[in-house]
Amino acid sequence: MVDCRVLRALKASGRVRVLGTTGKSVQDSARIGFDLLRHYSPILAELEVDIRADTLNGESDRLPVSGGSAGQTILLAMISSLVGELFDARVCATGVLNISGGAGPVGGIQPRNGAAKLDAAWFNGFKKCLLPQVAMEELTRDFPDYIEMSEGYSCRIIGCRDWFDYARYAFSGIPT
């Protein structure tokens, strides 16, 4: 779960603060995401961004997010906070965010290694699971039955090339 709050700074700061128990790669992902957004809208340098990234384990226990695979999700949370629109609660996402906005490979999605992220998606009732296109191509090639099984649980796995692909599936106002 990633929560984001964007505030107008008293002085131009462009600060990004990551809260929760996270690793350096999550902090790097947050900075990359904010830098990418600032590229499209330089006025964002006047804002401060607070991000809380962790995983709920049960009702109240929180587990740390430690990998860069939360990058695309962190960027979606920033966009959501900036435009004031929640992204579709039926959509989950995983994917490294590179400095050009592309989606990089992630772990935890290959069925031969225990597809924990994908299994969690359909187990928790998500209708769409967004992942990097390169991972989708690997799944399609090596594990086509897994894709069919996920669809049987009403969870569509979708490959995304970049942050805009992720955004158009996560927000209702962008055509897919």
Identify the band that residue 87 occupies on the pLDDT scale cut at 50, 70 and 90. confident
Task: State the pLDDT at residue 54.
Answer: 62
Question: How does 51-82 read in b/e, with b if 16+ C-beta sit within 10 Å?
Answer: bbbbeeeeeeeeeebebbbbbbbbbbbbbbbe
Dihedral sign computed on CA atoms, order 87, 151, 157, 122: positive
Residue 27 CA to residue 22 CA, distance in Å, equals 7
Q: How far apart are CA 62 and CA 24, in angstroms?
A: 18
Query: What's the whole-number mean pLDDT along residues 63-74?
Result: 76
- Spell out the domain ranges in the chain: 2-170
Question: What dotted CATH number matches 2-170?
Answer: 3.30.230.10
pLDDT given at position 100: 93
Amino acid in the structure at residue 63: L
Q: How confident is the model at residue 62 (pLDDT cuts 50, 70, 90)?
A: low
Confirm whether pTM is higher than 0.95: no
121-140 tens-digit pLDDT: 888 899 999 999 999 999 99
